[in-house]
Structures are given as structure tokens and as C-alpha cells.
Chain A
């Protein structure tokens, strides 16, 4: 069958630090031109990175494809290119059919306008024709359950009502290709179920859906095919369970407790300092920490240009990408006043390890003030293992991310 979406060699390059708030003032531009802007312009010295590279994929009509990957793997960039919000740097995409994209709930809403006005406005912005909106108007209102408030400006709506109305407009878009980014992260549980149901209906009617989510249960339930993105490239394409398992187990050569991160290219930051190696203190070179035992980390950094007011930080996340905690050096060291160029080694011990058994990932960050010098996401993956010698009084099967101490009193007659 001919593909409905055909992506060939797609790439998107960003200048580092230019992703956000890179608008310039005239003065800055003039100064840069005066001080040899031509040389700068040729790209020399300007650091760039590929948020997306060599992505080639065909999607057949009616396929429901999940796109998963860590933060910064390029999922959102891919969706933005496919929905034409941003232009690719290289490569081509062919889309055969009307595209509806839902990167945010409530696109085009304006607080001063009434619910009725916003249905028309948001519908038009998302690509519906007026006649089409008129036809679906009653359905949209019924789905959103906001009928009594249709003529109230939505600035007086509760956030739940706004979200319901917004999703309802988008859900009635009915394009051949539907691009959805994490919209299920909004609303309360019953409404999320309703949204999922709506998407299942769309899939059953043979629409092609691209669906980005961190919610693996939703991906499993909805998708027949999954694209796993890692560092801007397609790492795996195909079977849902295989991709999800690899995603959950992802990380750097799982099992080793010593990772050379000097050449990792998914890092970002201004530079001047680079992490070289991250080592987890473990008995037998496997990245396993016993439940309740302190987590010992050793980092090697290379300083290229002297830095002042340095602060380092270790962030622990679960394999699914839920942030558990952050351990900044400033809590014990304060600011590190100055580091001259050279190689350094430092250690961090997380004494109070309350993590429940499972897979975790460490991100290491070096910064000064609000400026990130070097950040290596997912620098090291490790496992917290339940062992008998870990904590003698603990049970294996406690639910949740962490274990905290609780004290109970025995029941007394009241």
C-alpha cells in the first residue's frame, strides 16, 4: 500500500542556545557585524546540534504509530516539522491528506471571547471550515459538557472546563492524518479516558495517527507500531513491546557502572567544561545499588576555560522519565569559587537512598548561575535491587517510587 506519510532523510539543526529567546536587539546585531560578523556567520565557532537527523520512515494509511523517546530525543521536533510549524534543515516529507495537529490543547483560544466564539476561532485555526464547524457545533458542545456556559467569556471558566472545550474542538477535527503530542496529560482521569476513547474511534475509522506520549500504557493500548527516537535518530521501528522494553531499559550499555561520556553528543550547554566519565560505586562493576544503601558517584570533568561560581548537580529519574530528585553540590559545597583549566575529579554521595527497587537514570549538570555549561542527560543507568542485606526490615513489594519511614502505633480501643 502506498504510504500516506513519507519521510526521507529528515534533519533539523538548531544553533545551541538559539532554541529559545534568541531574538536579538538591533544593537547586538550591529556590534556583531562590526566585530567581524562575517566570520561568525560562516558557522565557525557557532555550536550547532541536530535535533533530528536522517529520519526516514513510511507510514501506511490507517496506521497508529506511537513515538517514544526521552526528553530531548527529538519527538517534539519531529511533530513540529510534520505539522509545518518549523521547517526542516534537510530532507523531505510527503503528506497525502489533510493534517490535523494537536500539539497543545486550546490553540487559538482567547480569554475575552465566549465559549461559542472560541469554538469557531479554535476550529478555524486548527483547519476547519465554517460550514464544518456549524455542522459539528452541537457535538462539540455536548462532548465538552459546557452547554450552560456557552456565552460566558472563557476567562471565567475553570481550567477543567477550558481543557474539555479545547479538546472537544480538536477531537472533532477529523483529518486523515492526526498528529498528537501528549494531550492526554491534561484533565482529570475520566476525561482522559474519554479522550483516549475518542482517539480509538478515530483509529478504528481508519485514520492515520502519530501519537507522542510518555504514557506507555496509552501507547500500548492505542498503537500497532512504535518509533523509538534516541538523540534525534530512529533507534528502533516496529513492534510495540520490543520498542517499549528497549525504551524502559534504555541507557548506556546497561550493566556497567563506569561510563565514558566525553563523546556523548546528546549533551547541551555553553561549554568551557565537560563531563568526561561518570562512575557509580559498586562492588562488581555492575550498575546495581542495594536497596537503602548510599549511592556513590564519581565524576571526572575537564575544564577548558576557567569557570567561576561553579555548581554541579545530579538528577535522578525513573526509566519512564519521571524526575525523582535533584542533588546539587551547592547544598554542601556552596559555590565553587573558581576552577582553572585542567582535569578534576569529584565525588557525590547520596546518603539517603530511599529509592524503591527499579531502573533509574542519572543526568549530570554543570552550571554557573542560570547558565548551563554542560548537561549530559541519561549519563548513567542503574538499578536499585532488593537484597536481603539492604535493609533488614523492608518488604520487597512496596508500591511507589520511594520508601519512607513511617511509625505506627498499635491499635487501642477508642
Chain B
């Protein structure tokens, strides 16, 4: 059997490409195959590292931007909503309440935007060399995690200032981060694929994200909504990660029903992303 023979001969190589490759017209759902992702982890690492280096090259403030964005929105929301609106945060000081939600939101919105432009922006690579295409939006989304960590670090002086120390709930933070990452991956990969086919995404996305901010429990919390509308809000896949961040950072209560509904919406989002991506992946080099 040829496969066995070649395996012996190239035993020295355990590189990114398999030893026996069969190329044929494909169908199916293989875009997010975990084995392929694992064998390409080094390339993923390099792509994330490139995204980070390039993003902050020639910026005067560098990584400070990662903190400035949620911080300035926090100030804005505090001025606008904490005094004049009846939407007051349940127990925590409003700036903390807003900032804890802005962290996952900023990560999510940036990840979606970067992800959406990632494939089209890498056309020059993708038409010249093969590697699993999904690595490109994956790297664009995951590189945002570093910004999220900077944002979290800023929380330390904020909490000290408002005398609101974190409790044992903080142990849930990795779960909250993982949840946010999954939602961001779904949206980023999906938009990346759609953008290949329909460049409308470039115009629609900034506007959709603005609307989405107000539809998500960022400057209010889900339980401040009228009870019969809460389930609608829960359909928003970003809702659960935001509330999970608040629950773990500030020790606010978490609604399990919200987690379930929002989780289901996330699964739908991931399925849509995988399906669309697979379809575009077939013909990517021919379209872009």
C-alpha cells in the first residue's frame, strides 16, 4: 500500500501538511475540524502574533488603545445613564457595572470587525499558498484576547477606587471569557465568509454593531427589562457572556434561563458560521 510506504519514508517530517493528501471535489462540514486546527497550532500562533504586531505598529499609544476604548465608553455611559435614566445598576457602582460589560462587548465587536475583514484582507496569501483557511479569521478573533487582558488589568485600579473587591465568583472568569470567545469566533468566522461573497458587509457591519450595542445588556442589565421581553433579549448570543462577566467580576446574580437560551443561540450562530464558511472555502481562491 503506497500510503504505508510513504509514511516510512517521510517519518522525519511531522509538519503542517499530512503525509498522504488526497485532493478531490469536497462536500461537508470539515471547516472546523479540531485535528487540523491542532496540527496547525504553530501557524495559528504566528498569525495571531502578526496581527498583534501589525495592529500596534506605528501607533503612538500602542496597547493603551485596548484600555481606552472601553474606558471612554464607560465614562460616556456613566454621564448619560447613571444620573438621568431610571436604569440604575442593581448593587454595584454604575461605572464598574458598565465597565464589566464593556470588556466582553469591546472584545466581541472588535473580533467581529477584524474577523470580517480578515479573509478578504489576506487574499494575497490565500491565493498563493494552502493552509486551513479558517486559521485567518481565527487568528483575527483570538488576537483580541490580548486586548481583553489589558482591559481586565485596568479593572484592578477601578475596583480599588470604588472599594468593590472581587469575591470567589472570580473563579468563573475563565468560563465567562471562554463563552465570549466562542460567540466572537462564531460571529467573526461567519462575517469573514459572508464578506468574501458580499462586500456589503463592509458597509453594514459598523452600523449593525452600533445597533447591537444598544440591543445588548451593556448599559442596562437584562433583569431591568420588562419580564415578558427578557426572553427576546436572551436570544442575543452576546447577552449571556456579558451577564457572565458581570456575575464573575462583580458578584452580581446570574440568570440560568438566560444562559441556556443565549447558549442555544450561540450554537445556531456557530452552525451558521461553519456552514457558510465551508461553502465559501470551496471557491475562495476563485472568487476573491
Contact = CB atoms under 8 A, between A and B. Distances in A.
Contacts of A90: 25
Contacts of B131: 125, 127
B205 to A, nearest CB: 13
A103 B129 contact: yes
B169 interface: no
A153 B288 CA distance: 28
Interface string A8-29: 0000001000110011111101
Contacts of A103: 128-129
Residue in B2, B24, B42, B129 with the greatest tally of chain A CB atoms within 10 Å:
B129
Interface in B1-57: 2-3, 5-6, 9-10, 13-17, 19-26, 42-43, 46-47, 50, 53-54, 57
A153 B199 CA distance: 31
B286 A113 contact: no
A88 to B, nearest CB: 6
A168 to B, nearest CB: 16
B57 A108 contact: no
Given A18-B286, A88-B24, A125-B43, A83 B129 contact: yes
A92 B127 CA distance: 21
Interface residues of A, number: 55
Contact of A121 (B10, B15, B46, B197): B46
Contacts of A128: 15-16
B207 interface: no
Given A113-B54, A130-B42, A23 B15 contact: no
Given A24-B198, A26-B200, A110-B54, A124 B43 contact: yes
B285 A85 contact: yes
Contact of B128 (A25, A104, A132, A175): A104
A311 B25 CA distance: 40
Interface stretch (A93-101, A352-360, A376-384, A391-399): A93-101
A14 B286 contact: yes
A403 B20 CA distance: 54
B140 interface: no
A204 interface: no
Given A86-B286, A113-B53, A129 B19 contact: no
A19 B6 contact: no
Contacts of B20: 94-96
A130 B43 CA distance: 9
Interface in A100-124: 101, 103-104, 107-108, 110, 112-113, 117, 120-121, 124
A23 B9 CA distance: 43
B128 A117 contact: no
Nearest to A127: B16
A98 B7 CA distance: 11
Contacts of A110: 50, 54
Contacts of A348: none
Contacts of A176: 9-10, 13
Given A112-B53, A127-B17, A130-B42, A19 B10 contact: no
Contact of A25 (B9, B199, B288): B199
Interface in B273-288: 282-283, 285-288
B128 A124 contact: no
A22 B284 CA distance: 11
B213 interface: no
A113 B57 CA distance: 8
A162 B196 CA distance: 29
Nearest to B195: A23
Given A24-B197, A113-B53, A94 B22 contact: yes
B288 A124 contact: no
A87 B129 CA distance: 13
A175 B26 CA distance: 25
Interface of B: 2-3, 5-6, 9-10, 13-17, 19-26, 42-43, 46-47, 50, 53-54, 57-58, 124-131, 196-200, 282-283, 285-288
Across the A-B interface, the 8 shortest Cβ-Cβ residue pairs: A96-B6, A84-B130, A93-B23, A124-B46, A86-B285, A112-B57, A95-B21, A104-B128
11 contacts: A3-B2, A14-B286, A86-B285, A92-B23, A98-B17, A98-B19, A99-B17, A124-B43, A125-B43, A127-B17, A130-B42
